[in-house]
A and B are shown apart, each in its own frame.
Chain A
Amino acid sequence: MSQTVITAENIWKQYRLGTINSNTFKEELNRWWQTTVLRKGDIQSVSQGIGDEDNIHSKTFWALQNINFEVNKGEVLGIIGKNGAGKSTLLKILSRVTKPTKGSIRGQGRVASLLEVGTGFHEELSGMENIFLNGNILGMTNREIREKLDQIIEFSGVEKFIDTPVKRYSSGMYVRLAFAVAAHLEPEILIVDEVLAVGDAEFQKRCLGKMNDISKRDGCTVVFVSHNMQAIQSLCTKAILIKEGAISSQGNPSQVISSYIRQSRSYNFVKSWDTENEAPGNEYIRVDKIEIKPELENDQSIIDIRTPLHISFSFSSFSDINLCVGVHLFTISGDCIFDVCSLPQQYAVGVYKGECTIPGHFLNDGAYYISLIFVKDTSIQLFYLEECLSFEVEDFRENFAWFGKWMGHVRPAFPVNISTIKLL
């Protein structure tokens, strides 16, 4: 099983910035004149000879730098990274759509690439014609398509419209038909871009399910790019994190995912103020510090839905007042999840600290922020420190074959019990 089917060695890819116009043409002519007609040595020295002006016009950009990896037969490789990191360029090189500037890529077996759904669909032609057209373009023979035609049509759910030109289809029908064709490919190596980003939750679920089937059952090697960490986590046997065109980590998917999340998040887990003037507050109170401490297990490096979060803060009181101190938790979109506060109490002049714990298995995955509120005499808002800390909770699922977004702001772990009334 450990036969290597894809080997990428020292892949570099350079793109030229700016537009192609008469300037680029002049450069090319010049280069050609110098090298071919005047036979002046190699291109390198010539482009130096052309001088500074040339450098201004032909800025280049390395989209990929020194990419090395191997994929074995039957493995599922996930590629993650921010937008613009070079993921799609890498997929293009893998599927031979473009060539690397330097380096080589070797693959063994029939490659099918799904960089978009419905490649080559012709608007004017019927759904049926397009199944064959798209299938042929993706590398299926007519015989293969005919064998699977019924399945494809059934999977797409557009039987009634199969003889209608696809330009009359709704965008949903169009995508479903296109995916139905792609789903029935039987390649040895499947390359998939963020195809799953289109379509509704139901559709995405189907896509991921299908990919899971293909790799598990048919022993097909899959390379795919996704922003759905849950999907990467559960489908992939290996992951690569690309950052600014270079591989920043590769190996075990959960480790790669956590390093990605650590890299990409810049959440404030602690806020403290050095001088009294900077610190937020008013003539009655002043907040000195606020902090979130996630209670991470040994092997964890990111906050997920299991992680308890300890919130602690300290404040100073400047007069003898009656206060309730509250913690508000909001989702990033501004919905309040909860509003908890301390019992009303008299505070003498001094420094106090408060603590509050959000238990594990309580919040759903998502991004949240915290605000602090100080209320005088149980009714007057004395001070409100808005959005002082923010954090993100990642999803965690074990043995669960569904990858869609779990609904709800909270995800408590209390059980739903089912018992038998009678058997029929």
Chain B
Amino acid sequence: MHKDLLFRLVRKDFLASYQQTILGPIWIFLQPLLITLTYIAVFKSIIGIPTGNSPSPLFYLLGIIIWNYFSDSILNISYTYTAYASVFNKVYFARIIVPVSYLLVNLIRLGIQFILFLLLFFFFLIRDANVAPNWYILLVPVCLLLISGISLGAGLIFASLTAKYRDIQNLLSFLLRILMFISPVIYPLAIVPEKFKTLFLINPLTLLIEFSRYGFLGSGYHDLLYLVYSTVFTIAVLATGIVLFNRRDGRIMDVI
């Protein structure tokens, strides 16, 4: 029964977001492509941020799709109570279904975008550009799993807080913007001065993005010890999120 509802909500989100559009789901491809082009133009050509040896389209695209997955998931999940207030007020079902459905929607989007990335990746691989996939590629799914865990956990924390005080919503979009600049989305960790590196690595996203890049492109930070740290971090955030969300579950209906 819960499974049906979960997939129904996922389906609803997909259908609803492409109603009355001409290109429909093609936007899933188009959006990261356009952003990649913009980033190449602005950050590479104008500002001149070095992307190491890797081809810049692959460098940016991978960073962008992972970052978008993370940030969209958190934002969507944090809106759980606001978006579903009218439903939660009338019908009871396990509330956690809604955040999980949001995560799934974004995961599917990520999957589709990954196909785009892989196409581009093979294109560069055949042309023998500076692309050096290695066995770390097998850890990419693990990285994505950890990112999913962090998004869900943090999303749940913010959803619980936002339900009562809407300010948190503004705070969140602000925080996400800052976080993007201190994560290696538009630049490689390699250009960060050595003394700040540890500081950057406290942010688990840094490692997870760098790790994925290393697996595909052969350049990027890849210390397995930090993967352990990221795992511990993820579990902590997820546990906090679930506890907060469930604790709030009962009383929250009176304040949303």
Contacts and interface: CB of A to CB of B under 8 A. Distances in A.
Contacts of A201: none
Contacts of A139: 1, 91, 93
Interface stretch (B12-20, B27-35, B58-66): B12-20
B254 A98 contact: yes
Give the interface size class of chain B.
Answer: 20 to 34
A137 B91 contact: yes
Contact of B19 (A20, A120, A137, A165): A165
Contact of B255 (A20, A92, A115, A125): A20
Interface SS of A by simple majority: loop
Nearest to A139: B1
Contacts of B253: 92, 97-99
A96 B164 CA distance: 20
A136 interface: yes
B12 A122 contact: yes
Given A98-B250, A136-B5, A141-B1, A119 B91 contact: yes
B12 A115 contact: no
A15 B1 contact: no
Contacts of B16: 122, 124-125
B245 to A, nearest CB: 15
Contacts of A165: 19
A113 B20 contact: no
A149 to B, nearest CB: 14
B91 A125 contact: no
Interface residues of A, number: 30
Contact of A137 (B5, B15, B165, B254): B5
Interface in B64-123: 86-93
A273 B1 CA distance: 69
A124 to B, nearest CB: 4
Interface in A132-158: 132-133, 136-142
B126 to A, nearest CB: 42
B12 A138 contact: no
B165 A132 contact: no
A25 interface: yes
- Pairs of residues from A and B, 10 with the lowest C-beta to C-beta distance, nearest first: A99-B250, A96-B92, A124-B19, A136-B8, A98-B253, A136-B5, A115-B90, A119-B90, A120-B87, A142-B4
